[in-house]
Amino acid sequence: MSKPTNLSPISIGEYDYPLPDARIAKYPLQQRDASKLLIFSQGAVREDIFRNAAEYLPPGSLLVYNNTRVIRARMVFRKATGARIEVFCLEPAEPADYALSLGATGRCSWNCMIGNLKKWKGDDLWRELEIDGRRVQLKATRMEQAGNPPAAVQDESRNISSHRILFEWDDNNLCFADLLEQSGELPIPPYLNRPTEERDHETYQTVYSKIKGSVAAPTAGLHFTPEVLNDLRSKNIATEELTLHVGAGTFQPVKTDDVADHEMHAEVISVRRSTVERLLQHPGNIIAVGTTSVRTLESLYYLGVQLHEQGSGTARQEEKSTPNLLRVGQWDPYLRNPTLSTDDALRAILKHLDRNQLSSLQAQTQIMIRPGFRFRIIKGMFTNFHQPKSTLLLLVSAFTGAHWKTIYDYALANDFRFLSYGDSSLLLS
């Protein structure tokens, strides 16, 4: 889908700010909910600690979080020459479904980034593993190139590129998830400029993570603890979950001056029928935990519009030709101005699920949320403090308007910690 011509150009340079390296949190706090919390509401900024987050949520809120779990996606192979080849699994190719691919036995293929590619001339790579006392031979074979990697995770010093890799192993009692768990490394963000440590395997997961598939954590959720969740329940704040598997493209900066020339990465989302029903029960009171939840929730509206149009016979021709492909394009929110209400869009999703006897909606979203976006579902969000010139900062600006500068100036002036392991904010409309 071509980019819209009706949007005013936005220069990414307007979303820059000075971020000293010392303000980037290299490690999390020992106690997750002791992190600082900035609260923005009705143009005013104040602060507290995250442990008291429930005090600032509107009565009757529904908190929606992303239950994805980060996989140990980075594996290291050694050639006979001693050359170190790093294989970073980005997304499953065959089977393309995350659960099926992680549960595959014997073989599967993934789209991967390759470190030190120039040393891998095309011969197979082998690695011997020991899992539960059994020796397993794992083979990696380069297949056709799957496309260029996200620019932000390219590391020219390691010559990383994206390729389709076939993995085969000689023990059918072990699935691919077992191999990753035993031999893989958790891929912490590149801007931390340090190797993964044993503590990261716990601290770089949310306490409610359970669906394996992400290569980066939904970091707004890292502040939650069982105590915070119990406090929410005691104050009658409901919670729901959805799944968006975070890809390496989450670190991709905007390298074009005009935001409209930036291409968003696509992400797979899964939302249960019961979650859609809960959304309908809490109109105007939905708070997203993290930008991944924001993108998923706001994508639901446009998925519902597509399904409504298909049911009424008013779908665009390209949608009619692929009725089973549910996908939100990058520019869908700006190329069309649907009059369908949010409730009717969500009901269209429920009708689709009932008609096809499905318990959850599986779809893909490439949605870009930038200034000018109309929020249809959320009324607030928890989110960390993001990198300059990033699409995540554009999303914050879309929600808060020019106040994003006030928010970030306050955070910088008051010793807030930035990025994945940093502090949090609660933004309310």
pLDDT tens for each residue of 74-110: 999 998 888 999 999 999 999 999 999 999 999 999 9
pLDDT for the residue numbered 3? 72
Report the predicted TM-score, pTM, of the whole model to 2 decimal places.
0.90
Each domain of the chain, given as residue ranges in start order, spans 12-69+203-428, 73-185
Q: How far apart are CA 209 and CA 219, in angstroms?
A: 11
- Token pair belonging to 295: 């993108």
99-144 confidence digits (pLDDT tens): 999 999 999 999 999 998 889 987 899 999 998 888 999 999 998 6
The position carrying tokens 């006030």 is: 406
Residue 292 burial by Cβ neighbours in a 10 Å radius (0-12, 13-18, 19+): buried
pLDDT for the residue numbered 136? 94
Where does the pLDDT of residue 151 fall: very low under 50, low under 70, confident under 90, or very high at 90 and above?
very low
Range 162-189 average pLDDT: 93
Range 62-81 average pLDDT: 95
403-427 confidence digits (pLDDT tens): 999 999 999 999 999 999 999 999 9
pLDDT for the residue numbered 145? 54
Q: What angle do CA 150, 407, 22 make, to 5 degrees?
A: 65
Is residue 320 predicted with pLDDT exceeding 60? no
Range 348-357 average pLDDT: 96
Is residue 314 predicted with pLDDT exceeding 80? no
Q: Among positive and negative, which fits the CA dihedral 278, 279, 285, 291?
A: positive
HSE on the CB side for 148, CA within 13 Å? 6
Q: What is the mean pLDDT of the chain?
A: 90
Give bridge partners of residue 76 from the DSSP assignment: 86
Is residue 58 predicted with pLDDT exceeding 50? yes
2 sits in which H/E element: none
Is residue 155 predicted with pLDDT exceeding 50? no
Q: How far apart are CA 59 and CA 403, in angstroms?
A: 24
Where does the pLDDT of residue 319 fall: very low under 50, low under 70, confident under 90, or very high at 90 and above?
very low
pLDDT for the residue numbered 197? 96
- Token pair belonging to 30: 């020992």
pLDDT for the residue numbered 252? 75
205-218 confidence digits (pLDDT tens): 999 999 999 999 99
290-301 confidence digits (pLDDT tens): 999 999 999 999
pLDDT for the residue numbered 251? 67
251-278 confidence digits (pLDDT tens): 678 889 999 889 888 889 999 999 999 9
CATH architecture of 12-69+203-428: 3-Layer(aba) Sandwich (3.40)
List of E strands, 99-160: 107-115, 125-131, 134-142
Q: How far apart are CA 70 and CA 352, in angstroms?
A: 30
